[in-house]
Amino acid sequence: MFKKILIANRGEIACRVAATCARLAIKTVAVYSDADANAKHVSACDEAVHIGGSAPKDSYLQWQRILAAAKATGAQAVHPGYGFLSENEEFAQACADAGLVFIGPPPSAIKAMGLKAESKQLMEKAGVPLVPGYHGADQDLVLLKKEATRIGYPVLIKASAGGGGKGMRAVDKADDFDAALASCKREAINSFGEDAVLIEKYVQRPRHIEIQVFGDTHGNCVYLFERDCSVQRRHQKVLEEAPAPGMTQTMREQMGAAAVAAAKAVNYVGAGTVEFIVQQGDDGRMDFYFMEMNTRLQVEHPVTEAITGLDLVEWQLRVASGEPLPCKQQDLRIHGHAIEARICAENPDNNFLPATGSLQVYRKPACTAFERSSLRIDDGVRQGDAISPFYDSMVAKLIVHGDTREQALARMDEALSHTHIVGLATNVQFLRYVVKSPSFAQANLDTALIPREQAVLFKQEPLGLNVAVAACVAHAVHSEQAEHLPPPRSSPGRGGSQTHTTWTDPFARRDGFRPFGVAQRRFAFEFHGDKVEATLSYLHDGALHLQVGEGAQQTVGSLQFAAKGDALDVQFAQQRHTAFLYQKGPTAHVFTAQGATQIIVIDLLAHASASTAQTGRLTAPMPGKVVSFAVKAGDAVKAGQALAVMEAMKMEHTIAAPKDGTVAELMYAPGDQVTEGAELLKLAA
């Protein structure tokens, strides 16, 4: 076995590989770019070598520098992770030429599977079933169109060099073919530097089921069962699970045998994935066709680890160091059910636009919440880290395991509900909606699941106004109590017989007033663009009474809360929630088991905004761009009035006046980039 390896990757996969190495007492060398100087993967390894600028082409794709780093540190082997150089046969060959072991398949196998068209020709010879289509070398336009007609519309045009869901165009009818082909070729040239295409029958409502295979240098090859990755957006995986629901033992054996045949056809060594597209007939019949082989460890490999109890990175290391596979096919078993969710920095409600920003809050579910091994979190970031535009938008992977799919589903929902991220848009809430959608819950899986369930997946509000307001008010009152300010008591009246008044008189707050016997405080919020006022009354007996909204819209009732760890158990209007609250500038982020929401605290909540009011500072709640100012120096403004608009995380945010005053100075101009906490304008009393 190796004594030291270099990990030629970053993020969660670099951390993942380092974890197995640490367990096996193999020393690790990290490589890092400028942007990753303080990244988690650097500290996860024993040594680290800086290899260049932030853009991948200046660092993680600079293979000469990576090889030099391996040489300089005395590493014996290189683990490429996934993405970057993992499927680059020149790099694999260069490692061998430099006397380093490439922890992956031989360069010839990477090359054979690298182009979709060529690999299909090989698979055809090996007797692996293919989607009806054309994958010839002749790229004549007239011929391609004729082939499309022969195959029958709808068809899918795919860039042969494509990957990551890019370079694909579905075409419904012959009239659209030319335009789709041209656009596919343009994207292919831009993304992959070559524009050869293949054409496939477009399978309706297909499932994506892939088989994990493993080969060694002794001629053994096994399959580690299947993963269902049908839940996709933009042809990219969102949720993956194993085993595939509805898979029969016969079909599993057939698919396993086809995958092993595919691997053997290219003398495969190490971890690989054979992806199949599965056509579901009305009679429940499932036909599977080879789609492509990914010659590396896959993002979703943990679900296979969860159901087999194996460590695939350990297998990779063993195979690469020349050992035979640790098991034979007949020793492999499936235990229970596992699901992985990819948490990405993106905005599902805005066509999954990737988001960047910093993880101001990154709170993970406690792995001890369940018995060990039922929840696993793979990530490459820590609270405070940035999700930069340079790399993938994946923040973390949550992997749950249960005896049954139902149990795994419940655990996934629970784990997602305890994942709190503030600072950038993520798909956490969206993933919860997917997990709970009828299709996913009933395992009615296919690649059209997301569009089919859109009514319950997009533009939802998991928490109502009352929950959000009650959480904010309870947290404000609680944080005051925590700072040893006794709660205001009902006073017997001005000049009454109050004796113990050693503390600052809360009745003197500028936002409180007290009719006889009751102290009241007013709060103002903005929720989904609507202004809402709330009044909190402190009753004689110390109880709290809350009124949210006015007139016909109002909700009134007693407000109760009790501390529960970092959260508060809040009860208001027949609803009880354990609410976590993180306030960043004027925005409060509320997380409960039901979901998360944001509410803007316009008025004087607790101390944070009190100090804003005192100093007249108005700061950017997050890094972003100033879009416009609604005011100019010298303008008189009223509390709650919109002052400026910022754009961050691809969304616009309005900055409102915390109190009445006069604008003293604008500190930026529209279009300026600002960091979090930057003072946007000065307000004088």
**Backbone torsion region of residue 91, taken as left when φ is above 0, otherwise alpha when ψ lies between -120 and 50, otherwise beta:** alpha
C-alpha pair distances (Å), 379 with each of 72, 342, 343, 537: 28, 10, 10, 45
Q: Which SS3 state, helix, strand or coil, does residue 206 take? A: coil
By beta-carbon proximity to ligand ADP, the closer residue of 271 and 425 is 271
By beta-carbon proximity to Mg ion, the closer residue of 275 and 446 is 275
By beta-carbon proximity to Mg ion, the closer residue of 277 and 646 is 277
Using DSSP bridges, classify how beta strands 207-215 and 221-233 pair: parallel, antiparallel or unpaired.
antiparallel
**C-alpha span between 321 and 9 (Å, rounded):** 20
DSSP-based helix, strand, coil % in the chain, nearest 5: 30, 35, 40
- Min. distance of Cβ 292 from Mg ion in angstroms? 5
Contact 525, 600 (CB under 8 A): yes
Q: Which SS3 state, helix, strand or coil, does residue 436 take? A: helix
Q: Which SS3 state, helix, strand or coil, does residue 586 take? A: coil
Contact 473, 546 (CB under 8 A): yes
- Min. distance of Cβ 524 from ligand ADP in angstroms? 42
| Active site annotation includes 296 | yes
Residues in the chain: 685
Convert 616-651 to b/e letters by CB count within 10 Å (16 or more is b): bbbbbbbbbbbbebbbeeeeebeebbebbbbebbbe
- Min. distance of Cβ 278 from ligand ADP in angstroms? 10
Residues engaged in binding Mg ion (CB under 5 A): 275
Q: Report what 232 binds from Mg ion, ligand ADP, none; CB cut-off 5-8 Å by kind.
A: ligand ADP
User: What's 79-135 look like in SS3?
Assistant: ECCCCCCCCCHHHHHHHHHCCCEECCCCHHHHHHHHCHHHHHHHHHHCCCCECCEEC
- Min. distance of Cβ 266 from Mg ion in angstroms? 17
- Min. distance of Cβ 201 from ligand ADP in angstroms? 6
Candidates 614, 626, 629; CA nearest to 683 is 614
By beta-carbon proximity to ligand ADP, the closer residue of 67 and 449 is 449
Contact 228, 209 (CB under 8 A): yes
C-alpha pair distances (Å), 470 with each of 200, 461, 536, 549, 599: 55, 16, 10, 12, 11
Using DSSP bridges, classify how beta strands 651-656 and 679-684 pair: parallel, antiparallel or unpaired.
unpaired
Q: Report what 606 binds from Mg ion, ligand ADP, none; CB cut-off 5-8 Å by kind.
A: none
**C-alpha span between 599 and 533 (Å, rounded):** 12
Residues engaged in binding ligand ADP (CB under 6 A): 9-13, 81-84, 131, 156, 158, 162-165, 200-203, 206, 208, 232, 235-237, 275, 277, 291-292, 294, 298-300, 392, 394, 447
Cβ-based neighbours of 408, under 8 Å, separated by 6 or more: 241, 336, 337, 338, 339, 400, 401, 402
The greatest distance separating any two alpha carbons of the chain, rounded to the nearest whole angstrom, comes to 98
- Min. distance of Cβ 273 from Mg ion in angstroms? 8
- Min. distance of Cβ 233 from ligand ADP in angstroms? 10
- Min. distance of Cβ 646 from ligand ADP in angstroms? 29
Query: What residue has token string 């090359």?
Result: 111
**Of the listed 296, 411, 514, 521, which one is catalytic?**
296
Contact 57, 77 (CB under 8 A): no
Question: Annotated active-site positions, please?
Answer: 296
